[in-house]
Structure 1
Amino acid sequence: MVHPATRRAVLQTRTALDTLLDIGFIFPPRETEVRGRGIWTGRNLGPADVAKLLSRAAAANARGAAIFIRLGPSARDGHPGIVMLDDLNAEAVARVASDGLQPALTVETSPGNFQVWIKLITAGELPYPVVRVAVKRLAELYGGDPRAVSPMQPGRLPGFTNRKPKYRKANGSFPFVRLVDASGRVASAGEDLLTEVKAHLAAQRGRGPGFARETPPVAAVSGCPPTTDDFDVLDGIRHVQEARIRAEVQRGTRPLEASSPSELDFAAVVVALEEGVSGSTLEAWLTARRPEKAAGYAALTIQNADRHVRALASTPQSPGRP
């Protein structure tokens, strides 16, 4: 049974963001695992869909799962301009608001730690690279977690408990993720930030004033050319996946062939697709990073990874799924 206070918090959250969402249940790692198990619906959830999932979310939370939300998969093709900053303190939250970036949603994830969701535009869609640069800049300005800067960054859903072991109380209970404010307002300085970001990107591509940073030579693969920042992000994703997979191979939980360069590419592309990186950007990145591969390698890797992501999203959800 879902507590009425939890139901109210979720409803207010959904109303404040006013966009299609995805919900995930993130279970802690088992004794032999390094990473936890993330179970996402992989769907664009409207208000009625979210309401139907609350009982399942409450049951998963009781079994130790953290309950997260992120923008629905459709944001990969047309981003609604809603970004999330993670790990802010109260002073930073106040500065965000006073600087004209008033949050549409403020959540206290644990005592003294906050996440804020900011609406940069009133309506319409934004190019994915613009959102990526905007959220990265906001995190730098206000001291947000620099690792949590995906345009589809998940945030904790208010009304459920934060099950991190370090927050466990003496009586065995956990603190609730608390809804602080759900104004739903659009940031008054959002358009100014976007103007600055677009000018910065134009300068990088040599189409505007200022220093034109080198653009990857295969940028023409995409209608909206990726920048070296995009490639840096993807290099980082691959590095993390390589470290994870090699550690699992060393422990004997994965076969040796799982650490081959092609398998590492595949693992990185899977994560990137889940974070909403476009196929054209991934194709440009793979083509640049793996020039020794035959024509079609990048497209085939992305195709197989996309099939894998879709299969995971459509698999019946249960706590035991890896």
Structure 2
Amino acid sequence: MPADVGELLPRAAAANAQGAAIFMRLGPSARDGHPGTVMLDDLNAEAATRIELDGFQPALTVETSPGNFQIWIRLIAAGELPYPVVRVAIKRLAELYGGDPRAVSPMQPGRLPGFTNRKPKHRQADGHFPFVRLVDASGCIAAAGTNLVDEIKANLPAQRGRAQGAASETPPVAAVSSRPPAMEDFDALDRIRQAQEERIRAEAKRGSRPMDAFSASEIDFAAVVVALCEGVPRPMLEAWLRMRRPEKAAGYAALTVQNADRYLEDQTSTPQPSGRP
């Protein structure tokens, strides 16, 4: 609620002054079905202009540092989109307009206007950091959004069968529970976990995280949080944890996913400083 967010602004401002980054992202309900609003990161002014001319008019434009923009695009007017469609859409738009290829999650957070961008590279000569600036908030729907979505749906293998008269799309949970998880899915989750282990190890090494917080369970938790943000179904995550951590108690996988889910609900309901994912 706006009032709840307003009450947290002083705390967010204090955290920002101490070096934390303040982000915003789609709300918790977007984990059940994606609303079709995507964010492109690290765009220059020329790309921002081309996006509008090409029919992907921004719903929200934020200048995160001088000459660098994050653009939020509403691909559809109402309803929800399957996560695989959203992933392809973000990656394609990032490739077309030079966005950060690492920031292409369907739940990618963006910087919240009104706070400073505390990345060390943006420190100014006087020691201050640039403010994240709201450029435009039209909320408009991109004219070319529907065409892009339709094209992606037509070319996704799972969607082609549907177009030929198959039953409506199987919900992600049912799809996972009705077939053995593909090993390539587990390989992708392994890569997420490895990246989180490297991040946590680096934080512990430089002293921003206590060494006793660097544990296998902590890494599992961080990886599950990232995977949930990517739209990976919960049963898939539980199956992955059970396979990769057979030494753990029977309820470990379900509890880890449940705790990560609750953590994300807390994070997405309020502006949060950067830190634990």
Q: TM-score range by the shorter chain?
A: 0.7 to 0.9
What is the RMSD computed on CA atoms of the aligned residues? 4.0
Which segments of 5 or more consecutive residues in structure 1 lack a partner in the other structure? Answer: 1-45, 210-217
Shift of 1:242: 3.2
Mapped pair 1:51 → 2:6: yes
| Residue of structure 2 aligned with 1:258, choices 215, 219, 226 | 215
Aligned in 2, Cα 1:110/1:226: closer, same or farther, shift over 3 Å? farther
| Residue of structure 1 aligned with 2:88, choices 109, 130, 133 | 133
* Residues in 1 aligned to 2:214 and 2:272: alpha-carbon distance in whole angstroms: 29
Mapped pair 1:306 → 2:246: no
CA contact under 8 A between 1:118 and 1:187: conserved in structure 2? yes
Partner of 1:146: 101
Q: Deviations over 1:1-44 (max 9, x none)?
A: xxxxxxxxxxxxxxxxxxxxxxxxxxxxxxxxxxxxxxxxxxxx
* Residues in 1 aligned to 2:255 and 2:12: alpha-carbon distance in whole angstroms: 31
Partner of 2:197: 242
* Alignment TM-score, normalising by the size of structure 1: 0.67
* Residues in 2 aligned to 1:318 and 1:258: alpha-carbon distance in whole angstroms: 24
Q: Deviations over 1:164-217 (max 9, x none)?
A: 2222222222111111111110001111111122122236886679xxxxxxxx
Higher relative contact order (CA closer than 8 Å, sequence separation 6+):
2
CA contact under 8 A between 1:61 and 1:160: conserved in structure 2? yes
What secondary structure is seen at the aligned counterpart in 2 of 1:95?
helix
Letter of the aligned partner of 2:126 in structure 1? Answer: N
Instruction: Tell me how many residue pairs correspond in the alignment.
Output: 262
The range that moved more, 245-254 or 76-85, is: 245-254
The alignment-based identity, stated in percent, is: 67
Q: How does 1:13-24 map to 2 (within 5 A)?
A: none
What secondary structure is seen at the aligned counterpart in 1 of 2:61?
strand
* Residues in 1 aligned to 2:254 and 2:200: alpha-carbon distance in whole angstroms: 19
Q: Deviations over 1:137-166 (max 9, x none)?
A: 211221111111111111011111112222
Q: Which has the higher helix share?
A: 2
Partner of 1:101: 56
The range that moved more, 140-149 or 219-228, is: 219-228
Shift of 1:75: 0.7
Which segments of 5 or more consecutive residues in structure 2 lack a partner in the other structure? Answer: 165-172
CA contact under 8 A between 1:225 and 1:281: conserved in structure 2? no
* Alignment TM-score, normalising by the size of structure 2: 0.76
What secondary structure is seen at the aligned counterpart in 1 of 2:72?
strand
